[in-house]
């Protein structure tokens, strides 16, 4: 009798495991949704924000796996080093105006890396080798700042998904610590109350594939994480060879905070969050509520600034100057 019950249980588990895997693979290979060329961000500020990169020195920073990451260094004649991370699907050029301002004002020496899988870097576009690799790359850039630029203070800064990546880094207490953080309109993940429905039409998400890959990862199967799950709705006039069309599952998972609430509670360094009052993707007034869980964070809504314009808005820069004075 006992043997019969054991066989039944074993059969039940095998059948359910098979159903689980069949469902997971079916969702993983579900056809991707149609990519819509819809109106989303006001890109007009990008032209003005780009074009100052000629004032920077180009550098290839060696990473722990032997590969190199393309970066620009804006010399601010100071040992306060700001590592400035770009948003999703893009490269670091549009950060050049703000970076040049910081350097010319001698507030910071600025590093603007093209994140792995982006910009001028070699390798697969919109993909990395494993979840969490971007944090490892950031730690290597922090080491570079200390060893090559003799940084005394390091401020980890990011815009949009780059801001979310900065938060993810701060939330991981196993990584080399930084001295502060600036987050421009940070993307905190799809569960965050700061996110508007549809994320301002910026991305098309293959939801079924996302679920299927999550199911496979839950049981330790990660061989299919190179499948694309996010597709960027960028108008053709803003596309060029340095832009990224889609993100793999492992890239998408690495750009988001793993748990934005826990990461915010784990912030250990002074942090300023700046969000445009006219942000197309986020609810600006929700950020103060979310970041209230941290004793180190302050938030400001910049009136009249859209998602892409907040990085070099004069009020944003004024708030950073004030914050930096208090930090010092």
Residue pLDDT, tens place only, 82-118 = 999 999 999 999 999 999 999 999 999 999 999 999 9
Residue 235 reports pLDDT greater than 90: no
Nearest to 82 by CA among 190, 176, 166, 168: 166
Place of tokens 């020496």: 109
- With a CB cutoff of 8 Å and minimum separation 6, the contacts of 168 are 135, 254, 255, 256, 257, 258, 263
Burial environment of residue 39 by CB neighbours within 10 A (0 to 12, 13 to 18, 19 or more): exposed
- Backbone CA torsion sign across 207, 212, 213, 219: positive
Average of per-residue pLDDT values in the chain: 91
**Looking at residues 271-291, what average pLDDT do you find?**
96
Q: Are 200 and 2 in contact (CB under 8 A)?
A: no
Q: Tell me which residue has tokens 């920073």.
A: 61
Tell me: pLDDT of 46 over 90: no
> pLDDT at position 88, please?
92
Q: What is the pLDDT of residue 242?
A: 86
Quick check: 142 pLDDT over 90?
A: yes
Residue ranges in 78-152 assigned as alpha helix (H): 96-104, 133-148
CA gap 166, 164 in Å, rounded:
5
Over range 152-174, report the average pLDDT. Answer: 96
Q: Which carries the bigger pLDDT value, residue 86 or residue 5?
A: 86
Q: How far apart are CA 281 and CA 174, in angstroms?
A: 31
Alpha carbons within 13 angstroms on the beta-carbon side of residue 303 total 0
Report the alpha-carbon distance of residue 183 to residue 311 in Å, rounded. Answer: 9
Residue 68 has a CB neighbour count (10 Å cut-off) of: 12
Q: Check pLDDT > 90 for residue 6.
A: no
| Residue 217 CB burial class (10 angstroms; 0-12, 13-18, ≥19) | middle
pLDDT above 70: residue 47: no
**Packing angle between helix 161-170 and helix 133-148, nearest 10 degrees?**
80
CB–CB of 167/140 below 8 Å? no
Q: What is the pLDDT of residue 25?
A: 92
pTM of the predicted model, to two decimals?
A: 0.91
How many C-beta atoms lie closer than 10 Å to residue 197's C-beta? 6
The pLDDT of residue 44 is above 80? no
pLDDT bin (cut points 50, 70, 90) of residue 48 is: low
pLDDT tens per residue, range 193-227: 999 887 767 788 899 999 999 999 999 999 999 99
Nearest Cα to Cα of residue 281 among 323, 232, 239: 232
Residue 127 has pLDDT above 70, yes or no: yes
How far from chain centre, in Å, is Cα 308?
Answer: 14
Helix, strand, coil share (%) of the chain residues, nearest 5:
40, 20, 40
Q: What are phi and psi of 200, to 5 degrees?
A: 65, 25
- What does the block give as tokens for 5? 């019950």
CA angle 50, 243, 55 (to 5 degrees): 30
- For the cut 90, the answer to whether the pLDDT of residue 306 exceeds it is yes
Is 117:123 a contact under the CB 8 Å cutoff? yes
Q: Report helix, strand or coil for 113.
A: strand
How far is the C-alpha of 310 from the C-alpha of 298, rounded, in Å? 16
Q: Identify the pLDDT of residue 167.
A: 97
């Amino acid at each position: 009798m006992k043997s019969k019950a054991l066989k039944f249980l074993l059969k039940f588990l095998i059948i359910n495991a098979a159903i689980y895997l069949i469902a997971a693979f079916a969702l993983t290979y579900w056809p991707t949704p149609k990519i819509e060329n819809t109106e989303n961000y006001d890109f007009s500020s990008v032209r003005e924000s780009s074009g100052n990169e000629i004032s920077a020195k180009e550098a290839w920073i060696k990473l722990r796996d032997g590969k190199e990451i393309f970066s620009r260094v804006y010399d601010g004649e100071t040992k306060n080093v700001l590592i400035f991370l770009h948003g999703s699907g893009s490269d670091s050029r549009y950060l050049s105006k703000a970076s040049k301002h910081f350097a010319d004002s001698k507030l910071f020496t600025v590093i603007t890396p093209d994140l792995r899988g982006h910009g001028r870097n070699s390798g697969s576009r919109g993909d990395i080798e494993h979840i969490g690799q971007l944090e490892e790359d950031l730690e290597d850039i922090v080491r570079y700042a200390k060893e090559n630029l003799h940084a005394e203070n390091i401020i980890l800064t990011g815009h949009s998904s780059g801001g979310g990546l900065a938060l993810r880094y701060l939330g991981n207490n196993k990584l080399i610590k930084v001295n502060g953080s600036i987050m421009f309109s940070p993307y905190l993940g799809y569960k965050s109350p700061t996110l508007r429905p549809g994320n301002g039409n910026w991305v098309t998400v293959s939801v079924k594939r996302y679920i299927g890959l999550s199911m496979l990862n839950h049981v330790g199967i990660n061989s299919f994480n190179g499948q694309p799950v996010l597709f960027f709705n960028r108008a053709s006039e803003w596309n060029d060879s340095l832009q990224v069309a889609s993100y793999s599952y492992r890239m998408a998972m690495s750009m988001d905070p793993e748990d934005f609430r826990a990461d915010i509670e784990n912030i250990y360094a002074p942090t300023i969050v700046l969000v445009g009052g006219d942000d197309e993707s986020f609810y600006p007034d929700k950020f103060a509520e979310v970041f209230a869980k941290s004793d180190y964070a302050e938030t400001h809504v910049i009136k009249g600034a859209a998602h892409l314009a907040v990085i070099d808005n004069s009020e944003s820069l004024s708030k950073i100057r004030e914050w930096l004075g208090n930090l010092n």
